[in-house]
């Protein structure tokens, strides 16, 4: 399952390198956050336990590791792959689920603050594309159901 | 200069309309060909949407770019996340024709097509590269000389670089160049390039988000920064709002947080109230006060000029 998301050859290199650890803001600041261990576990086939861990959601997707990496790969790929699988199994932080629900329902993560706009003298906000978005999302789901894909 | 649609994104319009205010004032004042187009949705936010459904992430972003393609205009955004997400998808589709066809077969059903002709820029590199430092300087009525400014770039202004290609992703310069052009000192400090950490707030880890905000704000306090300047609503939320929450708990860090367009607006002569800066949660008044005092002081050049033109020691 992880194979679909990750390049194991590049991860092998990671397990010998670790160069991005010292510039990763989460590695430096958050006790217990260490993708080096996660990558070792992935390579050993022992990654299921990470799906319920807080760590995989602590990657800030800042892409610092990607940029400093000689393979242009980065720790983040391992964390993203695990988050994707966790989310598919319904294991995600409440706020991620809330954001997702709001997005698929309204096409946005919030509505323009109208009274505040008025006070500031801002023009009417442009129309949102919610209706068309919903149509597209329905089409996408239909297409996936037909092809049997889950993502 | 080609017309551009401003991509405001959800966070600015939902939580920080005053950022839209200062951005519009500045764009108008520079007479830039900006417009609003109907039909944009959330970019969408990568950390929330991509983890759950990559194909919906791609389809939504492609549709947003397609709208600008149709209007034959570019996109400029005051949100780093929006630009980075849209550019990531644009880049992905450029190099993956199969995926592009799949996306377009769906978009066709609603009468649209992703071409990817619209150029995507974040406001800061746009001002640096397209407007230009010289024009910026000409528009400024007041200098920020004598002020120490700590820039926070915002990761997604410059990364991932393969999609954005607008500055050095590890050692960017453009925002600094603008700050210096405004007369201020752009500080160097150890955590300058460190991510704000706001993402932790979106995954139910508020205490850790505060922890990350504190690391940078404390450093800036000890170095005597007059303000933090940034250009991303997520980073703004992290440093303005979360700083206020810490202050409410008795931890006073006192670093004014200023949006890029607010700083430009101040320099062009707008008041903090006109720019909506009184709606920040953390107080900007100390910065304004110090700045006004500096403006009243005659600068070195004027003092020398004065000495040369008046009766000096030699009578
Ligand atoms: S993207 Fe994630 S893993 Fe990479 S440096 Fe940033 S926080 Fe660390
Ligand atoms: S992501 Fe790149 S820099 Fe980081 S450990 Fe792996 S190979 Fe090294």
- Give the pLDDT of residue A150: 54
| A71–B contact, CB cutoff 8 A | no
| A115–B contact, CB cutoff 8 A | no
CA of B223 to the centre of ligand 1 (A): 27
Name which residue leads in pLDDT, B149 or B305.
Answer: B149
**CATH code: domain of residue B138:** 3.40.50.11810
Q: Is A66 in the pocket of ligand 2 (CB under 6 A)?
A: no
B77 and B188, same domain (yes or no): no
Query: Which candidate from B48, B110, B170 shows the least CB-CB separation from A135?
Result: B110
- Give the pLDDT of residue A151: 53
B193 and B301, same domain (yes or no): yes
pLDDT band at B315 (very low <50, low <70, confident <90, very high): low
Nearest to A61 by CA among B205, B171, B51, B86: B51
B143 and B232, same domain (yes or no): yes
- Give the pLDDT of residue B313: 58
Burial A54-69 (b: 16+ CB within 10 A, else e): ebbbbbbbbbbbbbbb
Considering just the CA atoms, what is the radius of gyration of chain A in Å?
A: 20
Q: Is A73 in the pocket of ligand 2 (CB under 6 A)?
A: yes
Whose Cα sits closest to atom 7 in ligand 2?
A14
Handedness of CA B125, B126, B132, B138 (dihedral sign): negative
Mutation to test the A interface, candidates B4, B41, B167, most A Cβ within 10 Å: B41
Give tens-digit pLDDT for B202-247.
999 999 999 999 999 999 999 999 999 999 999 999 999 999 999 9
Residues in chain B, overall count: 315
| A114–B contact, CB cutoff 8 A | no
- Give the pLDDT of residue A65: 96
Percent of chain B scoring above 70 in pLDDT:
98
B249 and B172, same domain (yes or no): yes
Answer whether residue B299 shows pLDDT above 80: no
Answer whether residue B165 shows pLDDT above 60: yes
CA–CA distance, B106 with A136 (Å, rounded to integer): 7
**Chain B nearest C-alpha distance from A52 (Å):** 13
Question: How many domains are contained in chain B?
Answer: 2
Give tens-digit pLDDT for A1-18.
787 789 999 999 999 999
Whose Cα sits closest to atom 3 in ligand 2?
A69
B50 and B196, same domain (yes or no): no
Residues 6+ apart with CB under 8 A from B4: B32, B33, B34, B35, B73, B74, B75, B76, B121
Residue after which a domain boundary falls, among B123, B140, B162: B123
Give the start-to-end residue ranges of the domains of chain A: 2-88, 109-147
**CATH code: domain of residue B53:** 1.20.1050.140
B225 and B255, same domain (yes or no): yes
B162 and B235, same domain (yes or no): yes
For the entire predicted model, the pTM comes to: 0.94
CA–CA distance, B67 with A126 (Å, rounded to integer): 13
Give tens-digit pLDDT for A31-89.
999 999 999 999 999 999 999 999 999 999 999 999 999 999 989 999 999 999 999 89
| B39–A contact, CB cutoff 8 A | yes
- Give the pLDDT of residue B304: 83
B165 and B35, same domain (yes or no): no
B162 and B286, same domain (yes or no): yes
Answer whether residue B173 shows pLDDT above 60: yes
- Give the pLDDT of residue A3: 78
For B230: left if phi > 0, alpha if psi spans -120 to 50, otherwise beta; the answer is: beta
CA of A6 to the centre of ligand 2 (A): 14
Residue after which a domain boundary falls, among B83, B98, B123: B123
Give tens-digit pLDDT for A78-137.
999 999 999 989 999 999 999 999 999 999 999 999 999 999 999 999 999 999 999 999
User: CA B304, B305, B306, B309: dihedral to nearest 10 degrees?
Assistant: 120
Neighbouring C-beta atoms of residue A32, cutoff 10 Å: 10
B35 and B138, same domain (yes or no): no
B174 and B113, same domain (yes or no): no
Nearest to B25 by CA among B81, B79, B78: B78
Percent of chain A scoring above 70 in pLDDT:
98
pLDDT band at A147 (very low <50, low <70, confident <90, very high): confident
B94 and B169, same domain (yes or no): no
The range of the structural domain enclosing residue B140 comes to: 132-314
CA of A66 to the centre of ligand 1 (A): 8
- Give the pLDDT of residue B312: 63
Residue after which a domain boundary falls, among B98, B123, B148: B123
Q: What does the pLDDT average to over B255-274?
A: 98
Give tens-digit pLDDT for B30-63.
999 999 999 999 999 988 899 899 999 999 999 9
Q: What does the pLDDT average to over B60-74?
A: 98
Mutation to test the B interface, candidates A54, A83, A116, most B Cβ within 10 Å: A116
pLDDT band at A148 (very low <50, low <70, confident <90, very high): confident
């Amino acid at each position: 399952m992880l194979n679909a998301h990750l390049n194991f050859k590049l991860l092998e290199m990671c397990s010998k390198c670790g160069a991005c650890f010292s510039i990763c803001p989460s590695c430096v600041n958050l006790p217990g956050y260490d993708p080096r261990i996660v990558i070792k576990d992935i390579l050993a086939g022992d990654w299921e336990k990470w799906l319920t861990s807080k760590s995989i959601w602590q990657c800030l997707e800042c892409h610092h590791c990607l940029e400093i990496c000689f393979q242009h790969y980065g720790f983040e790929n391992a964390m993203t792959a695990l988050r994707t699988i966790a989310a598919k199994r319904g294991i995600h932080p409440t706020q991620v689920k809330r954001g997702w629900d709001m997005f698929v329902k309204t096409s946005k993560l919030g509505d323009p603050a109208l009274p505040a706009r008025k006070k500031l003298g801002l023009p009417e906000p442009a129309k949102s594309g919610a209706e068309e978005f919903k149509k597209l999302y329905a089409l996408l789901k239909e297409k996936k159901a037909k092809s049997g894909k889950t993502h | 200069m080609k017309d551009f649609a401003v991509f405001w994104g959800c966070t600015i319009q939902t939580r920080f309309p005053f950022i839209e205010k200062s951005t519009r004032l500045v764009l108008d004042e520079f007479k830039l060909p900006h417009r609003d187009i109907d039909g944009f949705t959330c970019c969408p936010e990568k950390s929330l949407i991509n983890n759950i459904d990559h194909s919906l992430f791609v389809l939504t972003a492609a549709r947003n770019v397609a709208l600008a393609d149709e209007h034959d205009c570019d996109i400029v955004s005051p949100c780093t996340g929006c630009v980075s997400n849209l550019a990531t998808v644009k880049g992905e589709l450029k190099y993956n024709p199969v995926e592009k066809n799949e996306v377009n077969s769906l978009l066709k059903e609603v009468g649209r097509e992703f071409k990817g002709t619209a150029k995507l820029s974040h406001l800061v590199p746009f001002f640096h590269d397209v407007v230009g430092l010289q024009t910026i300087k000409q528009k400024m009525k007041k200098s920020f000389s004598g002020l120490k400014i700590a820039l926070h770039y915002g990761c997604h202004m410059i990364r991932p670089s393969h999609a954005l290609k607008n500055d050095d992703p590890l050692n960017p310069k453009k925002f600094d160049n603008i700050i210096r052009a405004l007369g201020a000192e752009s500080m160097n400090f150890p955590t300058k390039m460190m991510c704000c950490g706001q993402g932790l707030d979106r995954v139910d880890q508020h205490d850790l988000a505060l922890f990350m905000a504190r690391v940078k704000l404390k450093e800036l306090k000890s170095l005597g920064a007059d303000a933090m300047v940034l250009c991303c609503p997520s980073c703004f939320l992290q440093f303005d709002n979360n700083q206020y929450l810490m202050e409410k708990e008795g931890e006073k860090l006192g670093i004014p947080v200023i949006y890029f367009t607010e700083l430009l607006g101040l320099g062009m002569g707008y008041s903090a109230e006109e720019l909506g800066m009184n709606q920040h949660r953390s107080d900007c008044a100390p910065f304004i006060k110090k700045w006004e005092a500096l403006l009243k002081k005659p600068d070195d050049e004027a003092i020398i000029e004065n000495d040369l033109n008046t009766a000096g020691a030699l009578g």
